[in-house]
Structure formats: structure tokens, C-alpha cells
Structure 1
């Protein structure tokens, strides 16, 4: 437990903080130099429409990813004799007993990882800023909703992935290795997705320098994730505060920390964005999904 806790502190707090501090120091050092840097373009104005679109797309991506997780926690149980699951907007439950029920508590996290990998594959051919942003956020939410669950599962047998680990009879060493592997993947995944996020820029000047990349990442990724996390809360009530607030905050932090902290060092990224486009339909999609969650899913859908 001490090893995992130390690794969590390094990966989720100390690592991003040191990386961000390094970028800040280097940026100040460059500015303090006696020789000005030639041909550095002026930073374009903040594209607030892109920030708004990104926040709405994050809200959609988080809730759709969570729905995928719960759906694939329910479907294997629905196909298992003796189990009668019910799907809600923010949870699921089941009646009956079967030896495989514990194993199926891990299928939700597996489904979100598969969805994330599919979005990463689609991202290579995607066109349009909003489509690409949506795929990036789906990949972020899919990976960073699942990877922390592996860590939590190694520490708590009562968690979803922890129950699956116990069914597979993983010992302490195997659980620790799995947790450390999940933590090691986080910064690698974040770096890859950060490159895709910087490529959303519609003007090379937005990502031409370390300071410009840090600024753009804040505008298109970090601030939208903060706003989106607030917007996610109405989708999750009513439930205990731990699940309503803490889970979205954890996912957002795990996703955002390394991307924001390391944006300054990501060179050779081509700006391939085409502008934010209208947020009207995104807002309509968010409201429609909220109504579906609260009016259709909240009462529960039984799979008998």
C-alpha cells in the first residue's frame, strides 16, 4: 500500500508539478536573455468560442463514457442466469447471485478503455475541430476513468475492479504491479493526447512557443475540463457526494495534469484546426442528454 500511495503522489502531484515548474523556469530564463528571439509571432486573441465548445464536448464525453461503463457492467450480468441487473443514470445494481458477478465488475472499466482506443484510432482520420475535440475528450475520459480504477482496485477489494481482481485471485504483488503499470501509462497517454489537443489550433502562432503552447492548452483543455466538471454534476445527482463530485474531479485531474504541465515541451505539432464552429447544437446535445439521464435512466431500466 505504501508503494502504491507513493507512486500515486509522484504521478498525480509531484510529477506534473515539477514538469510545470521546469517549463516556468525555462520560460522566464528565455525572457531574461539579452538577445531577443526573432520572428516570434504575436499571440492571437483568445478563441473563447473554442473554449466553450471544448467544455460542452467534455461534458458530453464524460457522461457518455460513464454510461458506457455502467452499460457494460450491466450487460454481462443480464446475460448471466440468476442475475437481474438494473441500469441507472449514475450507477447500477443487481439482484440474485452468481460466481461471475464479481468478475463482471471489471467489464465497465475494460469497456471504457476499448472505447478510448477506438476514438484514438478514429482521431487519425477525423476532420473538423469539434469532431476531433470530441474524440480527444472521449479518449481522455475513457482512459482516465479506467486507469485510476486499477489503482483503487489494488487498494480496495470492495471497489469494482478490486472485486474483479479478487475473482481472478490476484495476490498483493500482482495487484501492486497492475497499479504501478496503470500509473505508468497515465503520463504516456496524456502526452500523446496533448499533442492531439495542440493540433486543434487553427493558427501556428497559437502553439509556436513554449509559453504559447501552455496558454493554448489552458484555453482549450484545462479550463474547459474545469467548467465541464461543474456541468457534469447535475447529470450525477442524486447520489452521495463522493460519487457526485469526487469522481468527476479525479477523472479531470488525472486527464488534465500532465497535459497542461507538459504542453510547453511538445514541439513539432502542426496546427490543423479549422475554428470552433457553433456551440448551439452542442448545448442542445448536453441538455438532451441531461433530460435523458434524469427522466429515462434515473428511474432505472431493468434487464430481466
Structure 2
């Protein structure tokens, strides 16, 4: 079996088969909810829409952090003249360090996600909306970074793949890196799922698997799906695969595990105030960021 085949099989098992099996096992193993418990988690479309808008904001801010982390080191390197766009970056000139700096984007998003998760765990944020935004920043940072390691192990032309080649990593080292990143996906999802449920648990019934699953669905999974069409507005125009692939991978890979794990979660509420606040503020922030992406970044910002 080739290393590429091994990575492919591991990806299928962890990205698809793993959450599917866990979700089915949780559904079959969870005790049957009563009608009252089922109805305790009320549908709150204001909360769901707010969460979706906060995810749109967090995803695109994280993407911007990634691109800035790719561009700024190049701008500081003699011989490189980078340009930042709304959905990628390019550079003129040549330097052996260019390949190395293709890995700084994924590193920046991972560190951003870890920092936001730590802040959320320590109780940062005076309002439910801010705490939910920190969750989505943590989520976007982690799951924008981990898949890039897997892709980099099989594609020399990808960002992380170029950085791996700079360090002259062999096939075995790349495979190990990819398998470690894949193993981190369910661990990160469960950790973030605990943070999410701890924040929103008082909104509904979490004593039963069905109640927890429904709460995660209306708090994160459904908002993530609703956010996808809006996220694409930040990335057009470009090839369809470039517009859709990154948001789809980031959204599905993590949320599938969080949703599947929710059936077996053991989490207690840590907050009583779960009011999402007004939709106007996150909507306004999303529109302002969209204007920056499409008016300022789309023509290209030169860093030289």
C-alpha cells in the first residue's frame, strides 16, 4: 500500500465513516426521550441566524488572518513582492524562503483557533454573542488548518505541501504528519463541542441524547449550513472549486464530528444568560467585512 493510499483510507475513515458510525451508535444507544424533553429545546430562529452570521464573520476573518500570515512574511523578504486578494494571494520575484512562508498561513489559523478556544474556556466574553463568536473563531482556526496538513502531504503544490518540501520532508514524514492531523480532527471537534454545549446548554434539555443532538444542530450544524451561501459571496469571482471547496471542507469536517458526538456528550451548563442579542450587529459586521473583501481586497492590495 502506498503512502497516498494510506492517507486516503485514513481520510475516509475519519472524515466520513467515523462521525457516521459515532452518530448512529449514539442514536441507537441513547435512551428514548420523552415528548416533554424533546420539546424543551425550542427552535429559536433568531439564535440560529445569529450563530450563522457569526460563523460567516469568523470564517472570513480567519481566512484573512491566514492570507495576511502568508503575505506579510513575503513582504518582509527581499526579492518578493506579494499582493493580497479577497480569496488568495500572489507574489512576484523569487526567494528560497517563499516556500517556507507558504506554511505560515495554516500555522497562524491554528494558533488563532487555539487562542480563542482558551479564551472561551477561561470564561472570556461578557455576552452570549461574543462567546459564540469566540467558539466560531476557534472552530474556523482549527479546521482551516488541519485539513491543509493532510492536503499538503499529498500535493506538493499546496501551501503546506510547499512548506513541507522546504523542510525536505520525505514521503514517510509527510504521511505521519497527515495521520497526526487526521487524528486531531475528532479530538479537536469533541473539545470544541464541549465548549459549545457548556455555553448553550441552558437553552434546552441536555439530559438526553436527543436533546443534546438537537441543541447542537440548532446552535452550530444548521447555522454552519446556512452560512455557506453567504461565505461564497466573499470569495467570488473565482473558479467554482476554489469558491466552494474551502468553506465546505472547513464546515463539514468539524461539524460532522461535533454533531455525531453530541449524542454521548456529558456536559453541564456553565452559563445562564444565553440571549443571542440583536441580529443587527452581526449582520452589520458581515456586510462591512463583505465590502472590504469585494471593494478593497478584490482588486488586490500590494505589499511592496
Query: If the length of structure 1 is used for normalisation, what is the TM-score?
Result: 0.94
Between the aligned partners of 2:69 and 2:59, the Cα distance in structure 1 is 16
Between the aligned partners of 1:213 and 1:41, the Cα distance in structure 2 is 10
Encode CA deviations 1:95-143: one digit per residue, 9 max, x unaligned. 0000100110000000001111111121122232111111111111111
1:148 to 2:151 alignment:
no
The DSSP-based 3-state class of the residue aligned with 1:228 is helix
**Cross-structure match for 2:187:** 188
1:79 to 2:69 alignment:
no
**Cross-structure match for 1:139:** 138
Question: Does the CA contact (< 8 Å) of 1:49 and 1:279 recur in 2?
Answer: yes
Between the aligned partners of 1:243 and 1:204, the Cα distance in structure 2 is 37
Question: Does the CA contact (< 8 Å) of 1:116 and 1:140 recur in 2?
Answer: yes
Question: Does the CA contact (< 8 Å) of 1:195 and 1:269 recur in 2?
Answer: no
**Cross-structure match for 1:61:** 58
Between the aligned partners of 2:53 and 2:204, the Cα distance in structure 1 is 25
Encode CA deviations 1:64-111: one digit per residue, 9 max, x unaligned. 000000011000000000000001111100000001001100000000
**Cross-structure match for 1:7:** 10
Between the aligned partners of 1:41 and 1:290, the Cα distance in structure 2 is 38
**Cross-structure match for 2:21:** 18
**1:268 Cα deviation from its structure 2 partner:** 3.2
Question: Does the CA contact (< 8 Å) of 1:89 and 1:298 recur in 2?
Answer: yes
**Cross-structure match for 1:125:** 123
Aligned length: 298
**1:269 Cα deviation from its structure 2 partner:** 2.2
The DSSP-based 3-state class of the residue aligned with 1:84 is strand
Gaps of 5+ in 1: none
**Cross-structure match for 2:231:** 232
Question: Does the CA contact (< 8 Å) of 2:41 and 2:211 recur in 1?
Answer: no
Question: Does the CA contact (< 8 Å) of 2:103 and 2:162 recur in 1?
Answer: yes
RMSD: 1.7
Between the aligned partners of 2:140 and 2:203, the Cα distance in structure 1 is 27
Between the aligned partners of 1:281 and 1:10, the Cα distance in structure 2 is 40
Query: If the length of structure 2 is used for normalisation, what is the TM-score?
Result: 0.94
